[in-house]
Amino acid sequence: MAELHDLTALEQGALIRSGEISPVELTEHYLDRHERAADGFQEYVDGAFAYRDPDGARRRAREVAAVGPVGEGASPLAGVPTAIKDLNLTRGVPTAFGSPVFAGYVPEVSDAVTLAIEDAGMVSLGKTSTPEFGSPCYTEPEGRAPAVTPWDTTRMAGGSSGGAAAAVAAGLVPVAPGSDGGGSIRIPASCCGLVGLKPTRGRISGFPMYGDPVGLAVAGPVARTVADAAALLDVLAGRRPGDPTWAPEPAGTFLDATRRDPGRLRVACFDAPVIADAEVHPEVRRAYDDATRLLASLGHGVEDISVPLPPEAVGVFETCWAVLTALSTAPLAPAQRQQIRPLTRWLGERGEAVSGPEFGLAIGAMRRYAADALVALAPYDIVLTPTLAAPPLPVGAIRDDADPAADFEAQKRFTPWTSAWNVTGMPAISLPLHQTPEGLPVGVMLAARPAEEELLLSLAAQVEAAAPWKDRRPPLW
């Protein structure tokens, strides 16, 4: 007989709406699961969560339960537990941004992601782990256990939403928000065998900080199924009056889009690495080739294309990425700078060396490269690539505190496709379509034109129905 955590987030929400369980009962189930998991896998739980908040979760669950049966128009995820990434401001809850510099910091305000979770009636169990300031593609925060994949706990969960993915993949929460500035949702989704969606630029508000002047980063869902991801996107999506950019409203809900036939689509495919001269693992090639055949078998037109971004775009992206890191490190006092990771310090100093005019020129160049790519891809409904160049790597395989430049280059080789869609602003989703003979997950990535998440989710749901993965569970489950 299935336990509650075996059910999808939507199935759990349906039980709450029907009155078969209460938000309090469901929250207690997950808190108990944390405790039971911690008995044998304390380090795993510690790697997934930067902060667990059982008292706050129980209080919130009682508040949601007191509202009674949810009415028409309420989120189908009302009453469902989740956890919020340690980068998201959460009023009254410790939020360290993955850094010892901010240990003990408790925000007085919540950001748009946290507010959306609360408005939907979801219950946060705490904060999920992230690397320092969300920068690297692995989640190994200083002084804390690393976030690892439950398919092999010696291997990384990816980053920067590694804690969110580790928590969802092991059934510690049914669904969770992450954020993605260069692949930080899709990378851990691939490492952990999950669905990870980076929405289009402007889909989700950056209120109140608006800390990314380049437009690379956006929040999004990490989930076990496409429908769960779509339901959480419905929760998170929406603009606020002060937002500098915003996406047009969808025709309906994103969840409704998963129930529609996408029709016959024109799919562009390429597996040549974009941002690095990376060696691509044979199992990644196999996953990509299988996905190409699957899409063709579903009736879609599949065409090989060249990489739509030139090599010159890589240096421009790196300049912008370094400046974004500098925006995090510049306000720190000298003593605080001694506490941050060598990689963070190196990137921050690299960003501080960029002048204002140079930064402006880099943003302009990146937007021109993005425009050229969008024009080249405009004839196609969908773009297919691998998600990562390899299955999840061993913990520590990329991190190199003695040589941050080598660390950064290794990250690029591991993630040579994901940041392309941050540059263009296109929505992109990683789907867990493949496993290696050793049982390690390998994701495949689909991207769509800007603001076309509905089409992307419709196709992703069709792919999931043809090659389902929902009941594929890791040994840690």
Domain residues for the domain of 207 are: 132-466
Residues in CB range of 341: below 8 A, 6 or more apart: 99, 132, 142, 401
Q: How far apart are CA 227 and CA 468, in angstroms?
A: 12
In a domain, 32, yes or no: no
Decide if 316 contacts 366 (C-beta within 8 A).
yes
Residues in CB range of 2: below 8 A, 6 or more apart: none
In a domain, 355, yes or no: yes
- Quick one: tokens of 316? 């421009």
State the total domains in the chain.
1
In a domain, 69, yes or no: no
pLDDT of residue 74: 86
In a domain, 42, yes or no: no
Amino acid identity of residue 140, one-letter, is E
DSSP β-bridge partners for residue 431: 444
pLDDT of residue 60: 97
pLDDT in tens, the chain (477 residues): 589 999 999 999 999 999 999 999 999 999 999 998 877 799 999 999 999 999 999 999 999 999 876 666 789 999 999 999 999 999 999 999 999 999 999 999 999 999 999 999 999 999 999 999 999 999 999 999 999 999 999 999 999 999 999 999 999 999 999 999 999 999 999 999 999 999 999 999 999 999 999 999 999 999 999 999 999 999 999 999 999 999 999 999 999 999 999 999 999 999 999 999 999 999 999 999 999 999 999 999 999 999 999 999 999 999 999 999 999 999 999 999 999 999 999 999 999 999 999 999 999 999 999 999 999 999 999 999 999 999 999 999 999 999 999 999 999 999 999 999 999 999 999 999 999 999 999 999 999 999 999 999 999 999 999 999 999 999 999
In a domain, 366, yes or no: yes
pLDDT of residue 102: 97
In a domain, 336, yes or no: yes
Residue in 91, 164, 77, 167 with CA at minimum distance from that of residue 122: 77
CATH of residue 265 = 3.90.1300.10
Query: Active-site positions?
Result: 85, 160, 184
In a domain, 306, yes or no: yes
In a domain, 389, yes or no: yes
Decide if 245 contacts 122 (C-beta within 8 A).
no
With 0.95 as the threshold, say if the pTM is over it.
yes
